[in-house]
Chain A
């Protein structure tokens, strides 16, 4: 049984993150603009794609590339800001490491889900994507976002304690994210193509398994990074 204090501390950190973010909206503005610019650029560069068997895969790949790079912009901030504003030491004293990790993870997850909704709607409209199975697409995006956040939050904590933060986050995260990205792109392409849930379940299960594995590993390792 988890100590209720941990939940209270987690909730407090989550609320604090949102209060702090809504006060200056740095991450929200930067990420939303980045996402809009990326989708518009892809749409302008790509033009109307011919209908072929590979078009679903091309659309899915573009969608996840935009999501990935928007996530690189947004998700590392949660820990970098603590080091830059010199509030990390106070946070260490005030909350147990597990609550810090869970609070930041929840903040990142909500941020990424908002970003995913924005990017997906923009991509569907601007790239003229035909979604064959909407429910499967929603399931795939939810599972993919969980996997993306589970794979990057610990890396965000690692790079916050290094000297070259910005570039290092992408360098450290990308190799770890490739298995989930390959799965997410193929799964999203299946959803665009309109396959049944039976065929689309395998990528969702893989993404959820990846998310659980990375989440459990992060829970074990975070205290070591945070000390």
Chain B
């Protein structure tokens, strides 16, 4: 009976996720400025969220293990970490594909890319630690300690370090209403790629007259299809004057600071707010995707946990993961 119920859940999950994928390509409208590549966020964002949730669950079970010293909590921590690792890989791959299509590079050491890579490294280290301790009880104890210790670094990784960086490819400042994002600093002759939101920007020239300071900035839109030159400016009092619009988008470029002698400027993107989920079809598919991938994660976790428990019962003294 239980097996039949399990089969039913498996088939239901398969159909649900197939429907989400179908809707992602054929029902959700194109996101302005990102084209078809924007559809991948229907999968990428839920998978990244569930990665964090799975690792958090693993850390919670590690705390419970140290508190109660019951094997079942350790098994649950391992199963959650394994599911988190799988989803983390999936989030990294889908994110890299998206980055290649819209930004022209698979990897650019964006703070959020760095965060997810560190998550992968932490849990790879967690499994490496587990495999290098022979004694079962000591292995569980040390792995739980490391899991909790690594979880303490997460707020620094996810919230502090990205905010110290100058720019991020992820639209976490430019696209959020009321954001206090400080924009991006550009230098004349910079060899490094700079981004503003998801647009690649490069300072070409900087001229100053009595009334106006004008920066000539080359912008490459997502997908590298549209390259344009924008000339934002500051008036004699240092306030933004011209705010040119990005080609094909509703966002404007604003010049915040300019130092003509040093050849440096600070520019930002003025955005009206986030619009992606304001489309009801996109919103519903996104929610369905969250549910589907959450269900899949729970199912994988449940299966793995059961297998590990059975292993523990059959070979209690033998070293397992």
A interface residues (Cβ-Cβ under 8 A, vs B): 53-54, 151, 154-155, 158, 161-164, 168, 171-172, 174-176, 178-180, 182-183, 186, 202-203, 206, 209-210, 213-214, 217-218, 221, 224-225, 227
The winner among A54, A174, A179, A225 for most chain B CB atoms within 10 A is A179
Residues of A within 8 A of B145 (CB): 154, 158, 221, 224-225
Structural contact, B66 and A224, CB atoms closer than 8 A: yes
Q: How far is the CB of A169 from chain B (nearest CB, A)?
A: 10
* Contact yes or no, A210 B156, CB < 8 A: yes
Chain B residues whose CB sits within 8 angstroms of the CB of A163 once the complex forms = 132-134
* Cross-chain contact of A186 among B146, B156, B164, B192 (Cβ < 8 A): B164
Q: Report the bound CA distance from A105 to B72 in whole Å.
A: 34
Question: B interface, how many residues as a size bin?
Answer: 20 to 34
Contact of B153 among A162, A176, A206, A218 (CB under 8 A): A176
Cα-based distance from A180 to B160 in the complex (angstroms):
10
Contact present for A217 and B148 (CB under 8 Å) = yes
User: Is A179 in contact with B156, judged by CB distance below 8 angstroms?
Assistant: yes
Binding site for A on B (CB under 8 A): 66, 114, 118, 121-122, 124-125, 128-129, 132-134, 138, 141-142, 144-146, 148-150, 152-153, 155-157, 160-161, 164-165, 187, 190-192
- For A182, the chain B residues whose CB sits under 8 A away are 114, 161, 164-165
Given the interface pairs A178-B114, A218-B149, the reply to whether A203 lies near B164 with Cβ below 8 Å is yes
Interface of B is mostly: helix
Whether B164 lies near A53 (C-beta < 8 A) is no
Closest 6 CB pairs of A and B: A179-B156, A175-B121, A175-B122, A217-B152, A162-B132, A164-B132
Chain B positions within 8 Å of A224 at CB level? 66, 141, 144-145
> Most chain-B Cβ atoms within 10 A of its Cβ — which of A158, A168, A227?
A158
Residue of B nearest to A182 (CB): B161
Q: How far is the CA of A40 from the CA of B192 in the complex (A)?
A: 28
Distance of B128 from chain A, by nearest CB (Å): 5
In angstroms, Cα B134 to Cα A49, docked, is 49
Complex contact A175–B142 (CB within 8 A): no
Point out which of B138, B153, B164 has the most chain A C-beta atoms below 10 A from its C-beta: B153
Contact of A178 with B142 in the complex, beta carbons under 8 Å: no
Output the nearest chain A residue to B156 by Cβ-Cβ distance: A179
Residues of A within 8 A of B132 (CB): 162-164, 168
Give the complex CA separation of A9 and B128 in angstroms: 34
